[in-house]
Amino acid sequence: NNTVLTSLINANSPMVFDETMLGALKVYSRHNQACIVTPFILAGAMSPVTVAGTLTQVLAEVLAGASFTQL
């Protein structure tokens, strides 16, 4: 029940998790290891230009990753 490894899971914005990241997330979740879900966003290029729009997208991607972890 102790965390031995921590994994960094990246979302390719907008809202895309590739097979490698999802596979790692499944394995780490199955073995109760820590995962840090982070989106890769460049405001204006991969998200809206506004701060509010970018933060909304960041939250959506992080919550999608966290929800997948709980499945």
Which pLDDT value is given to residue 67?
Answer: 92
Residue 41 corresponds to which tokens in the numbers above? 């966003």
Residue 31 corresponds to which tokens in the numbers above? 């073995």
3-state SS class at 41: coil
Residues whose CB is less than 8 angstroms from the CB of residue 49 and which lie 6 or more positions away in sequence, other chains included: 43
DSSP 46: T
Q: pTM of this prediction? A: 0.80
Output the CA torsion sign for 46, 47, 50, 56: negative
pLDDT tens-digit readout, 4-62: 989 899 888 788 888 999 999 999 999 999 999 998 888 888 888 999 999 999 999 99
Phi-psi region of 34 (alpha: psi -120 to 50; beta: other; left: phi over 0): beta
